[in-house]
Chain A
Amino acid sequence: MAILLEKETKVLVQGITGREGSARAAFMKGYGTKVVAGVTPGRGGEEVAGTPVYNTVEEAVSAQGPIDASVTFVPGPALKGAVLEAMDSGIPFIVMPVERVPLYDILEMMAYAKLKGTRLLGPGAIGIISPGIAAAGWLGGTPEFAKRVFVPGPVGVISRSGGQSGTVPWTIKEAGMGVSTVVHIGTEPVVGQSMGDILPLFQEDKDTKAVAVFGEIGGPYEEEAASAVREKRFTKPLVVYVAGAWAPEGMRFSHASSIIERGRGSAKDKIRSLKEAGVHVVDRPDEIAPTIKRLIKA
């Protein structure tokens, strides 16, 4: 078991004929994901990585029947158009491994998703992977590398950082465990899925025994994880590391969302809020895996 992606989840790749789109479609397929269609306007009728290409999402849905998830490989300024199109064709889950998306475009997507009841992962989310089941996005990179880094097991992982979405599972594997699903929530200033949205899904998943979170300064996400615990929407063991204890206010660190603004979003505040909710906050990243191990055994 896993969350959000299952063996039978039918996945569409928007922008499938592009450099990233074609490479990642091949990766996802190679990893076992059920990639049923791709979309690039003006390229309908072609085939990429053995997958039929359509001109529009509507065309893809007409040919393939309802599609469960879309992964968008389009440039930031073009994302809004692609995502609105997918939502209008009734796709309920959209993964957006796209950075540098104009903020107002993001806000429009968020408002429309609320209206349609669509689950948006990202933007700036490199993806999601459930070892041995499926992957959406480019988390994992190649089937071989993904198999080496991600092994199946009882630990759910949520990360604010794309790179750490691979690194946390690696250290969990090194500690002799494995992961159920790994979710990168995204790096843009506003994202569609917070820790507060993902944790309840791990709560429902009977194979997830504990969750590890790689947190960062900026944004409301770690505080929302604390709320989920306080409100008992998540009751399993939760281990969190928050990076950026030293970071000064007002400067963005790599990710658009990693910025302490208006006195909010410091590591100190996040750690306090998590600790008050009873979450296991570790001081160093190398303590994540051993702490998880101890809590699962307990």
Chain B
Amino acid sequence: MARLFEYQGKELLKKAKVPIPEGGVATTPQEAGKMAEKVGKPVAIKSQIWAGGRGKAGGIQFAQNPEEAEKVAGKLLGSEIKSLTVEKVLVEEKLDIDREFYAGIIIDASREVRAPVVMFSTEGGVDIEEVPSEKIAQMNVDVLRGLRFYDALNLAITLKVPTQLLPAIAQAILGLYATFKGYNCRTAEINPLVLTKDGKIFAADCRMSIDDSSVFRHPELGIDVAREASTPPTELDNIAWQIEEGDLRGTCYIAQMIPEIKEPGVVGYHGIGGGGAILGVDALNRQGLKIADYADTSGNPTAAKVYRAVKVILSQAGIEGYMLGGFIVANQEQWHHAHGVVKALREDLMDKPGFPVVLLLCGNKEKESLEILREGTKDLPARVEIYGSDRVYETEFLAKRMKTLIEEYRKERGVKEG
């Protein structure tokens, strides 16, 4: 995943000479105890999860000695915080905080900028979006020129940072920028950048995400699924990613939206092409249906790739239907999609009488492709409806058809089960 955990980000910052608290990561209580012993001071034990507001949710705790550290880590490891399981904790020196600053870099895609923006604030420790703009100093970086030491000094000076702190703060900003550039980050933040009571500057927490398309340049980061998401990849995501990694012809993008389906009205979703895939989901949502996964096969994938994608989608327990949302008049020959879909449906739906299936496929070689779909599904016991380009933008109609088929399917099963 392109997002890094705090401990990973801190390791990168350390390389760029940004001071970080002494400590390290632990996956067992024993390791946490040993780490606390190595630090030799009271420690903070921080759950390594992708969520803001960890502290308030109980994900950050403190320990006075190694024994206590082991005990606290034992409680945190394996627990759920903000519905994420804690698999690692960062054990590090507890800082004696005097002030909290903020340093961050984002990419601004707006037409006036199209460049990285370095931000510094004297109001650290809170979400930067909540800080009033007069407390934030920022600079658009000309990447051909780079960020210079005096740029960083000037940012801090704008907010009246005391002179004696300027060099250390500027050094931290420069180190953050070096990391951002060196590791091709999409965002990088140190929040808070802490001033301790004994006058030292430390990166107390950090958040970084690596640009998906640059992950290949950094095998040392061990990122398995180079894809922006708010949660770590599920088992299904990892399986789906292997489809993509092993076959570069066309793209197959699958993200599981509901890892465990506990309610009715959830559909296995398969779009074709980014924009079209999204608008199909909008329509399903308006009909009160949810998608178990967001899948998109496009860029002229092979039938084999499409087949594997459909198999993954249909493997989700609890889905009440499958929708091929080809809301696109594609210039690729659509028979590859048709063959792939048919093979998977034939394998998986023979023993699912009445299972709702809505197929929309439009574009080049449409007539032939729809014929493949019709021929291939005509003896399936499932409820299959097939549509072409005269319905390409009729998202509401198709979502309603999906809903109706699901209602029929439920009624039928209800009758049988009763």
**A residues neighboring B (CB under 8 Å):** 76-77, 99-104, 107-108, 110-112, 114-115, 138-142, 145-146, 149, 159-164, 166-167, 170-171, 187-192, 194, 196-197, 214, 216-217, 219-220, 224, 241, 243-259, 261-263, 284-286, 288
Complex alpha-carbon distance, A245 and B285, angstroms: 9
The reply on B178 being an interface residue by CB < 8 A is no
Q: Is the interface of A mostly helix, strand, loop or mixed?
A: loop
- Complex-state Cα separation, A179 to B129, whole angstroms: 42
* Given A145-B331, A245-B282, A251-B229, CB of A76 within 8 Å of CB of B275: no
Q: How far is the CA of A189 from the CA of B392 in the complex (A)?
A: 28
**Interface residues of chain B: helix, strand, loop or mixed (majority):** mixed
- Residue numbers in A under 8 Å from B213 (CB-CB): 76, 99-103, 188, 256
Q: A166-B328, A170-B389 are in contact. Are A160 and B109 (CB under 8 A)?
A: no
Chain A neighbourhood of B285, CB < 8 A: 245-246
Q: Which of B310-346 contact A (CB under 8 A)?
A: 327-332
Contact of B395 among A101, A258, A284 (CB under 8 A): A284
Q: Please, how many angstroms separate the alpha-carbon atoms of A246 and B142 in the complex? A: 36
User: In whole angstroms, how far apart are the Cα atoms of A220 and B108 in the complex?
Assistant: 9
Chain A residues with Cβ below 8 Å from B275 are 159-164, 214, 216, 243, 254-255
Q: A102-B213, A162-B274 are known contacts. Are A145 and B396 too (CB-CB below 8 A)?
A: no
13 extra interface residue pairs, beta carbon distance < 8 Å, beyond A108-B144, A284-B393:
A102-B214, A107-B116, A141-B332, A149-B331, A162-B274, A163-B274, A163-B328, A190-B109, A224-B110, A243-B278, A253-B274, A254-B296, A286-B395
Q: Are B143 and A111 in contact (CB under 8 A)?
A: yes
CB distance from B265 to the nearest CB of A (A): 14
Decide if B114 is an interface residue (CB 8 Å cutoff): yes
Most central of A103, A149, A163, A197 by chain B CB within 10 Å: A163
Are A171 and B228 in contact (CB-based, < 8 A)? no
7 A-B pairs with C-beta separation under 8 A: A103-B214, A104-B184, A107-B115, A163-B328, A166-B330, A187-B274, A197-B111
Asked, given contacts A170-B389, A256-B212, whether A141 binds B331 with beta carbons under 8 Å apart, the answer is: yes
Is there a chain A Cβ closer than 8 Å to B394's Cβ? yes
- B230 pairs with A219, CB closer than 8 A: no
Contact between B331 and A140, CB atoms less than 8 A apart: yes
Q: How many residues of B contact A (CB 8 A)?
A: 59
Closest to A288 in B: B393
Task: Assess whether B228 is in contact with A251, with CB atoms less than 8 Å apart.
Answer: yes
Given the known interface contacts A102-B217, A164-B328, A249-B230, the answer about A110 and B115 at a Cβ–Cβ threshold of 8 Å is: yes
Chain A residue, CB-CB nearest to B283: A284
Chain B 278-298 interface residues, beta-carbon cutoff 8 Å to A: 278-279, 281-283, 285, 294, 296, 298
Q: Could you say which residues of chain A place their CB within 8 Å of the CB of B184?
A: 102-104
Return chain B residues, CB-CB under 8 Å to A224: 110-111
Evaluate whether A251 and B282 lie within 8 angstroms (CB atoms) in the complex, with A108-B144, A220-B109 already known.
Answer: no
A290 to B364, CA, bound (A): 24
Alpha-carbon gap, A112 to B255, bound state (A)? 36
Q: State A245–B228 Cα separation when bound (angstroms).
A: 19
**Are the C-beta atoms of B328 and A167 separated by less than 8 Å?**
yes
Report, nearest first, the 7 A-B pairs whose CB atoms are least far apart: A161-B275, A141-B331, A163-B273, A254-B274, A250-B230, A163-B328, A103-B211
| Closest A residue to B290 using CB positions | A246
Task: Please name all residues of chain A whose beta carbon is closer than 8 Å to the beta carbon of B389 when the two chains form the complex.
Answer: 170
Decide: A244 and B327 in contact? CB cutoff 8 A.
Answer: no
Q: Say if the beta carbon of B276 comes within 8 Å of chain A.
A: yes
Nearest A residue to B128 via CB reads A262
A249 to B230, CA, bound (A): 8
Once A107-B114, A263-B129 are accepted as A-B contacts, the answer to whether A167 and B329 lie under 8 Å apart by CB is yes
B277 within 8 A of A: yes
Query: Which residue in chain B gives the minimum CB-CB distance to A223?
Result: B110
- C-alpha gap A77/B196 in the complex (Å): 43
- B273 lies within 8 A of A254 (CB): yes
B294 closest partner in A (C-beta): A253
CA distance A145 to B229 in the complex (A): 36
Residues 364-408 of B, flagged 1 when their CB comes within 8 A of A and 0 if not, give 100000000000000000000000010011111000000000000
Contact across chains for A257 and B296 when beta carbons are under 8 A apart: no
Could you tell me the distance between the alpha carbons of A136 and B107 in the complex, rounded to whole angstroms? 28
Asked if A285 and B393 sit within 8 Å, CB to CB, the answer is yes
Using Cβ atoms and an 8 Å threshold, which residues of chain B touch A258?
274, 278
Instruction: From known contacts A159-B275, A245-B285, infer whether A251 and B230 are also in contact, taking CB-CB under 8 Å.
Output: yes
Which residues of the other chain, A, contact B298 by a CB distance below 8 angstroms? 163, 254
